[in-house]
Amino acid sequence: MGIFFRSRSAKKIRNADEEILLDEKKDRRLTPDVPSDKRTNIDRRGDEGDGNTSFEDLIHDRKAGIRYIAAFPITVIPHKKGAKTGKFTLKTRDISETGVLVVTKSAEEAKLIGEADHVHLKFEVPEGSMPEGHEVRFSLDAKLARSLEKDDEFMFAFNFIEDLGQYLKKRKDRYVFISSTILLLFISFVIVLMRSKSVIYFKFHRVLYLYSIMTAGFLLSRYLFGAFYKPVPIDPDYTPAVTLIIPCFNEQTWIQRTIVSCVNQNYPPEKLQVIIVDDCSTDDSVKKTEEIIADIRKENPYFDKNRLFNLVQKTNGGKRAALARGIDVASGELVIFVDSDSFLDPYAVRNLVQPFKDPKMGGVAGRTDVANTYTNALTKMQSVRYYIAFRIMKAAEGLFDAVTCLSGPLSCYRKSILLEKKDEWLSQKFMGQKATFGDDRSMTNLVLKEHRTFYQDTAYCSTIVPSNYKSFLTQQMRWKRSWIRESLMAGAFMWKKEPYAAIVFYVGLLVPILAPIVVIYNLVYVPITEHIFPTTFLVGLLLMSLMMSIAQLLLRKSSTWFFGFLFCVYYEAVLLWQMPIAWVTFWKSTWGTRMTPSDIEEKEKRKLRKKKKETDGEA
């Protein structure tokens, strides 16, 4: 089927169309996490259950049991009766939190391993072979679980005496936690000291120092309130009917994997519906969709033509039109939007619906991780940015039930609200132009105006992010335009929300808009006119950048943490200067990364202008 993609982390070679993703070993079933009448998810893991098994335990056990295809070297030291009987380097075939499969062609090595009481293993997990945080050196004992000889190879499966998660907690995580916590507190203290200087000298330059105080207060408060955030726990008895809608346009590479992830949910299948709406794709998206639907139905009879189906638009109407068509035929009381290049965790739906136990809740955002983190430096930077944007920034908003963007990769709404707001959403115009992107922020505004919105960190998916700078910059420009448009519209009602949420919103609106002016003033105007090196300003930027990196290290313990700092540098050097352009072009409706009707219209206009210039030149 080609719906799972091999990791290339062991080889730092890739072609232009290849992304580096975690390579999970495939189950013999497409949808192993779907509960059935005969076998529950507890039964599959060998736990008959005493009625006390929690979903948290199930989720932990499932993650621990995921095997990842790997091919890195591992040192095996067999022990028999307390003494070493050898030491040799083998190759791994796959690895999980609880064990590893290794292979050798040497009969002598195989004999020593087979006779050993236990073995000691030493290995370093390469980036991209396991989830972030595992890319460290391990040295631990293991016992032989089973062995197999096949095709002149001897394969040995070892169970770790202590699983990798426990190993990390004892030998890495606590030291990382202590050191990163101390660093964060120190950085925060220095920032507060520096801003106290702004208070002292406030009267000498009110505008500049006010901006400094606002910026520091805005960012520090986000980290502070993000630390107090807690997701809504799972109530096993709360399982409302849910419809997942996947809008698709020319996504033949990823659509099968997305569909499988939406169906493969630990959720009552009779309460789950998955609808794919194809927006007139010109590639093989429709064919791939129909193929995977047929495969799923063969395996799982629950997903018949009423629970899993594909709708193909007659004309390309854009993402909103595709989502709206899905809303019209959805049967669930809750509707989940999933991007066609996003892959849901098997417990995403069960976690995502929990906040809706609050009758005032209108919409909930899940967490989005980067699926292709280890492709290159750009994707690593985005990985840190995504994690901090969700786990810190959205979490802080969620603390006050006022999340300002329920992101497209994974978000959930009450169907009744979507039906009520659908026409207004579809017909949205700004500056006389029809809105064709920013659909997630736009719908969030319509919901947030009268209802609560929340962030559920335990409901997560991973998504494919741009791995080349041209696509990335085009995406960022589109996001900035929609951010300006929707933020201006949200400003009309955010003052009615909880006071802190309102204050932070308006400060958060001003800070990035004014940032280019402030940077030019500090790095160009002051040095030229006052002959003063902008030490304080640069140190402030350095500290703010380090906060993102150290927060990533604290919360995720990943080797990507330094790329948070690099992203901040890249933002100041490049992305920041998209904002002035977005100011004067935020009414544009072209995507830039896909041929929407607006993009086609713009392309035709450019052709006409070019033709006119050529005609005028000939005249």
What confidence score (pLDDT) does residue 550 get? 95
Nearest to 249 by CA among 336, 309, 318: 318
What is the Cα–Cα distance from 138 to 133, expressed in whole angstroms? Answer: 12
Residue 430 tokens read as 């700004």
What is the Cα–Cα distance from 91 to 495, expressed in whole angstroms? Answer: 60
> Of 11-25, 197-211, 394-408, 571-585, which one has max mean pLDDT?
394-408
What is the Cα–Cα distance from 298 to 304, expressed in whole angstroms? Answer: 10
Least confident of 45-59, 225-239, 355-369, 371-385: 45-59
* 495: DSSP letter: G
Q: Taking the CA atoms of the chain, what radius of gyration do you get in angstroms?
A: 27
Is the model's pLDDT at 12 over the cut of 70?
Answer: no
What is the Cα–Cα distance from 300 to 266, expressed in whole angstroms? Answer: 14
Indicate the fold that domain 68-162 takes in CATH: Pnp Oxidase; Chain A (2.30.110)
What is the Cα–Cα distance from 460 to 25, expressed in whole angstroms? Answer: 20
**Could you tell me where in the chain the CATH 2.30.110.10 domains are found?**
68-162
What confidence score (pLDDT) does residue 36 get? 76
What confidence score (pLDDT) does residue 5 get? 39
Residue 474, H or E segment: helix 469-490
Task: Considering only residues 398 and 596, tell me which one the structure prediction assigns the higher pLDDT.
Answer: 398
What confidence score (pLDDT) does residue 46 get? 38
What confidence score (pLDDT) does residue 421 get? 95
What is residue 600's three-state secondary structure? helix
* Location of structure tokens 């929609």: 482
- The dihedrals phi and psi of 306, each to the nearest 5 degrees, come to -95, -20
Residue 429, H or E segment: strand 429-430
* 54: DSSP letter: -
With beta carbons less than 8 A apart as the criterion, state whether 273 and 333 touch. no
Per-residue pLDDT tens over the stretch 62-114: 888 899 999 999 999 999 988 998 899 999 999 999 999 999 999 999 999 99
What confidence score (pLDDT) does residue 227 get? 92
H and E: helices and strands count for the chain: 21, 18
Amino acid at 249: F
Mean pLDDT taken over the chain: 87
Nearest to 285 by CA among 324, 330, 247, 336: 247
What confidence score (pLDDT) does residue 180 get? 92
Strands 88-95 and 83-84 come out as: unpaired
With beta carbons less than 8 A apart as the criterion, state whether 319 and 285 touch. no
| Other Cβ atoms within 10 Å of 376 Cβ, number | 16
**How much of the chain, in percent, has pLDDT values that exceed 70?**
87
- Region for 332 from its dihedrals, namely left if φ exceeds 0, alpha if ψ lies in -120 to 50, beta otherwise: beta
Per-residue pLDDT tens over the stretch 343-379: 999 999 999 999 999 999 999 999 999 999 999 999 9
